[in-house]
Amino acid sequence: MIRWFGAAATFLLVGLVVWMGIDLIWHGLAGFYAGYLFEAPHDLGRQGGIGPMLVSTAIVVSCATLLASLFSLPAAISYTELPASSWVHRLLHAVFDIGVGIPRIVWGLFGGVLFGGVLGFGFSLITGIFTLACLLAPILTTGFIAGLEAVDPSLREECDALGIPRWVALWTQIIPAARPALIASLALAVGRGCGDAAALLFTVGVTSEFPSSLWDPAATLAVHVFHLLVTVPGGQNAAYTAAAVLFGITFLIQVGIVGINRTDREGL
């Protein structure tokens, strides 16, 4: 019985995703044309392309994911090496859970006040990068922890029996064994970053120009879609086209990650 419920839930979820994709493509194709991915928008975004938004999204998401990873991977390694009964282990677990549960709009307000106001970065790519990195860090950390803890405990025992130092075993055995799960966590973070509008609306800004530096205001693709739907009269059709591109980007990222993980498993 449980298996049937699980299969039904899976088919329902897949069906909803397929339905959403078809709906976006059906309504969005009308606004797609040669050069749409490279030209700047005009007429408040109702006409033109999404070139600046794609550039801004690539810069913000890639830099934020890199910054978050530089914190999250060491944090996850340290967490998994701590005794489960220690108070530090329990404290870190609570902190990570709270960080994941904080609403994105709160992260946006926090980043806008701290990086945009207190530090004086204003509406800029750098403000969005730091804010999104703060949002993604707890998500990446919990994902990395799950991946490291899923590694077969016998691998650690074998390394200990051979007298391999703990940190050498981590970098040469444990982390490579957890690589599929680590890559999946990165894919989740990239998808979350590409689709996030709440945290970036108050930090990156809304503009139709190509950014010339990290200190310039910009607009990511998700923010552009939100702007068209909420503040631009008659912007629904343009929003559908931009949303269809955003859906396609995140879909291709997930397909690519599945292919990488399959290659890793076949090579083991």
> Of the candidates 139, 125, 171, which has an alpha carbon nearest to the alpha carbon of residue 68?
139
pLDDT at 266: 56
195-213 mean pLDDT: 86
Which of 28-37, 136-145, 211-220, 259-268 is the least confident region?
259-268
CATH classification at residue 57: 1.10.3720.10
Is residue 29 domain-resident? Answer: no
Mean pLDDT over 106-134 rounds to 92
Its domain, for residue 195, covers 51-235
In a domain, 262, yes or no: no
What is the pLDDT at residue 147? 86
Residue 38 near residue 50 (C-beta atoms within 8 A): no
Number of domains, the chain: 1
Residue tagged 């397929």 (tokens): 18
Q: Looking at the domain assignment, is residue 124 inside a domain?
A: yes
pTM over 0.85? The answer is yes
225 in a domain, yes or no? Answer: yes
Question: Can you give the pLDDT at residue 89?
Answer: 74
Q: Is 164 part of a structural domain of the chain?
A: yes
Residue 261, domain member (yes or no): no
Domain for residue 249, yes or no? no
| Percent of the chain surpassing pLDDT 90 | 21
Mean pLDDT for the chain overall:
84
Taking only the tens place, the pLDDT of each residue in 247-256 is: 888 888 777 7
Residue 267 confidence (pLDDT) above 60: no
pLDDT of residue 261: 61
Residue 258 has pLDDT above 70, yes or no: no
Q: Is the pLDDT of residue 145 over 80?
A: yes
Share of the chain above pLDDT 70, in %: 94
Helices 87-101 and 51-81 cross at an angle (nearest 10°) of 160
How far apart CA 34 and CA 267 sit, in angstroms, is: 40
Give the tokens for residue 237.
């059709």
Residue 253 lies in a domain: no
Q: How many C-beta atoms surround the C-beta of residue 239 within 10 A?
A: 22
